[in-house]
Every structure is written in structure tokens, then in C-alpha cells.
Amino acid sequence: MIPQAAFGRTGHLSTRVIFGAAALSGMSADRSAATLQLIADHGVNHIDVAAGYGNGRAEMNLAPWLVTNRSSVFLATKTGERSGDAARRELELSLTRLGVDSVDLIQLHNLVEPDEWEIAHAKGGAADAMFAARDEGLVRFVGVTGHGRRIPGVHLRSLATRDYDSVLFPYNHTMLGWHDYRRDVEALLSLCAERDVAVQTIKSIARGRWGDGDVKKFSWYEPITDPAAIARAVRFVLSRDRLFLNSTSDARLLPLVLEAAAGGLSAPGDDELSADESTFGISALFDGADLERI
């Protein structure tokens, strides 16, 4: 079974792998049911979805399973809206799609750009609305997420402004090769440990951006597909205490991620990971031209 750890200060003992329910966005009902059965078989007790995944399709595909399994999982969703009224409406729509009265965690989705950050944190913005929803019992906790090389620094700013319960950002060996990114990540992890904020990671098995071709894509980035390399990438994340790994939206690789997490959390060597980068052409997903390479 997959190891568990305290999800920050929420009181939830979460599996170290969180099911990234973006994978459900384009699935049939039968395929969604089979995927959710797979995570249940591995004991995964934390699901992360978003209003924007598949224009709501992911939440709707999750709803039938939640009818009988809601109490067994920590349920998180996200809003991409920045104004308070719009964020509240989207949260209410998510609750309707999911068929639940409340979720455990609502997250401000991909809050990176300065203008959006200002709107979300202004009086009456999305942050105010989601903390108000918490006080009403529609959500239990509030977090913030983001992509890109700037996001650890933005999360530090967000945590200085509001008492968020969780953060989410990219974490893999390749991106941590950028000095400035690693510096911001370490500062963020230090603050989260001090305040007992839960830390979720994404892009653990990212290989790079898609090139030209007609390959059918199940995620916006090209993932690593070699089983041994996936196992090393997963262990790189989970060998570090307090980190949780959100699984890829390419559900074909979900069994390999789950098996890797259940197989031991010893850290791979830097030489092994560097060899994988060379062998499989792994590159950073986000532009690092102005960052110093370690």
C-alpha cells in the first residue's frame, strides 16, 4: 500500500500520492469507474479535481463514485475565478456537479500573474469569498496552486497575505536544476514546515513539451513512459518528507506511479536522475533562460 502522512494541519492522514482527477476529463463513464476502482484498490484516499478540468467533465465523472465513497476520501477542487462573486458561483457549481454538500479543500487555481493575484486578494476577491465559504461550512480548508518557474515565489507572497492551508507547484529533478527555482522552493518549503501548510507537487514525471507529430495526448506535457525512470522520478519526490505527489492526467501511467510509491521511498542518486535526463531527453517544461543553471 501507499505510505501516508499528515496533510499539513488539516488532520487528514493522506496517501503520499494524490489522484489527479484531471485524468477523468475525457473518459467515458466506464473508464472513469475503472480508474477510480484502481486508486481505491491502492488505498488512495485523496482526490484533487478542478472546475475547469474538461469544462466540468472531470467533476461530473467523479460524482457517481462519490455517492458511495465520499466519506473515504479527502476531496479537493479548484476555482480559476478571481473575483469573489464568480469564485463563489464556480464553487457552488462544483458542489452541484460533484453531488456533495461540501468539499474538504478549495484552491485558487493557477494563481500566478500579478494582475490576477491582485484581484484575487483585493477586498471582495476570490480569497475573501473562499475563506467565507469555509466559515459557512461549504469547504473545510483553502489552498492555492500554480504552474511555472515563478510560482514558488508567488506562493510565498500569497502565504504572507492569507493563511492558506495548502500549496501546489511543480517539483522534479530537472526544474530544481535551476538555481533560482530551487532557492524559492526551499524558502517555500521552510515556511510551509514552520506553519504546517500542506505541500502538493505536480509534474513529477514530466519529460518535456510535446514536439510535432500525431501522437494522441492525454496531458498537456509529454510524460516519461519508461517504468524504471518513472519509479526514480516518483521516489525523488516522495523521499522528501512532507511532500505529496499529484498523479499525472495521463491515466495510462497511473499504475506505474502507484506501484512506484508502494515500492519504497528511498531517494535515487543524482547521477541516476541525470542519466535519465540524458537518456530520455527530459527537459524543463517552463522557460528558464533567465535563471542560473546549477
Looking at the domain that runs over 4-280, which CATH code has it been given? 3.20.20.100
* Domain chopping of the chain, boundaries: 4-280
The C-alpha cell 489552498 sits at 143
* Range of weakest confidence among 80-89, 137-146, 217-226, 227-236: 217-226
Residue-wise over 119-129: b if at least 16 C-beta within 10 A, else e?
bbbeeebbbbb
C-alpha distances (whole Å) from 33 to each of 37, 40, 92, 102 are 6, 10, 24, 22
The interaxial angle of helices 126-136 and 114-121, nearest 10 deg, is 40
- Rounded to two decimals, the pTM is 0.94
> What backbone phi and psi angles, to 5 degrees, belong to 105?
-140, 130
Q: Are 235 and 267 in contact (CB under 8 A)?
A: yes
CA-CA distance, 21 to 57, in Å (whole number)? 10
Check whether 292 has a pLDDT greater than 90.
Answer: no
pLDDT digits (tens, 9 = 90+) for 254-270: 999 999 999 988 999 99
pLDDT in the model for residue 244: 98
Instruction: Give the confidence band of 215 by pLDDT, cuts at 50, 70, 90.
Output: low
